[in-house]
Each structure stands twice: as structure tokens, then as C-alpha cells.
Amino acid sequence: MNIDILGWIGNIGFIVGSFLIARRDIKGFYFFGLGNLLYIFVGLFTGIYSLVLISIYLLTMNIYGIVNWYGGIKKLLNKRFASYLEEVLDEDGFSRYFCGKCKSRIQGEENIKKKVCPICGIKWVRVELI
């Protein structure tokens, strides 16, 4: 593959990424990341190490932007990979359970034991008494 083509694909990634970021769409960070990865390869193959260095820095900033978009690394991990099951006690002392992510009510002992929300599919890692 011609190294010039990688550079042009990287340019397209930057153009699409800037358009999406301007529209407040997180996918723009991913297009920027793709462009930076391609620029790293272009810089390595052509021996332009200043391009490699700035592309690594910008790729790191893209990752930082994605993490901040979700409110930090803890919130990112909770939103993307795991949540919790909320246990709410009513006036009679009975427990009601709600998914910590989608807030839907979880009914049935078998659904609670599965530790996965039947609505949004997120895995629960703990039970929090609210």
C-alpha cells in the first residue's frame, strides 16, 4: 500500500472528526484517533519523527477527551461495563430493585440472581441500598 494513501485516509479522518466534534458527537474523537494512528505509521515509514511525536500526543488527547466526555475514568467504566442494582425499601419493609443505569424496575428473583439487567443488558457488580 502506498504510504501516501494512508496520509490521505488520515486527512479524511481529521475532516470527519472535526465535523462531528463541531456537532458535539463523541464519534469525532474516534475519527481523530484513527487519523492520528495513520499519521504515526506515515511518520514511522517516512522517518518524520516529529510527526510521530505530535501524533502520539494528539492521540493521547483524544483518549483524554473521550474519558472526559463520560465524566472521568470511574464514570466511563461504570457506564460502559458495569453498573449496580439499587435496592429501595418501601414503607412495608419490602425491597424493590432498580437498575443503576437505566433505572428500570427489576422484578423476579431469577432476574436479580442473573446479575444482568433484562432491559439494558448491563452487568451489575454490586447492590446499593438507597
Strands 95-99, 82-89: parallel, antiparallel or unpaired by DSSP?
antiparallel
Q: Which of 18-22, 65-69, 74-78, 99-103 has the highest mean pLDDT?
A: 18-22
Given a cut of 90, is residue 17 above it in pLDDT?
Answer: yes
What tens digit of pLDDT does each residue of 35-47 get? Answer: 999 999 999 999 9
Domain of residue 14, residue span? 3-72
Q: Are residues 100 and 43 in the same domain?
A: no
- Short-list 39, 49, 48, 45, CA closest to 14: 39
Q: pLDDT tier at 116 (50, 70, 90 boundaries)?
A: confident
> What is the DSSP annotation of the chain?
--HHHHHHHHHHHHHHHHHHHHTT-THHHHHHHHHHHHHHHHHHHHT-HHHHHHHHHHHHHHHHHHHHHTTSHHHHHHHHTEEEEEEEE-TTS-EEEEETTT--EE-SHHHHHHTB-TTT-PEEEEEEE-
Q: Are residues 67 and 121 in the same domain?
A: no
Please tell me the predicted confidence (pLDDT) of residue 77: 62
**In this predicted model, which residue has the larger pLDDT, 119 or 58?**
58
Q: Are residues 7 and 56 in the same domain?
A: yes
Q: Are residues 48 and 87 in the same domain?
A: no
Q: Are residues 68 and 93 in the same domain?
A: no
What tens digit of pLDDT does each residue of 23-32 get? Answer: 888 899 999 9
Q: Are residues 65 and 110 in the same domain?
A: no
Please tell me the predicted confidence (pLDDT) of residue 31: 95
How many domains does the structure of the chain reveal? 2
Q: Across the chain, what does the average pLDDT equal?
A: 84
Q: Per the confidence metrics, is the pTM higher than 0.85?
A: no
Q: Are residues 86 and 58 in the same domain?
A: no
Query: Domain boundary at 34, 52, 72, which?
Result: 72
Cell of 43: 511518520
Q: Are residues 68 and 111 in the same domain?
A: no
Query: Domain boundary at 52, 72, 92, which?
Result: 72
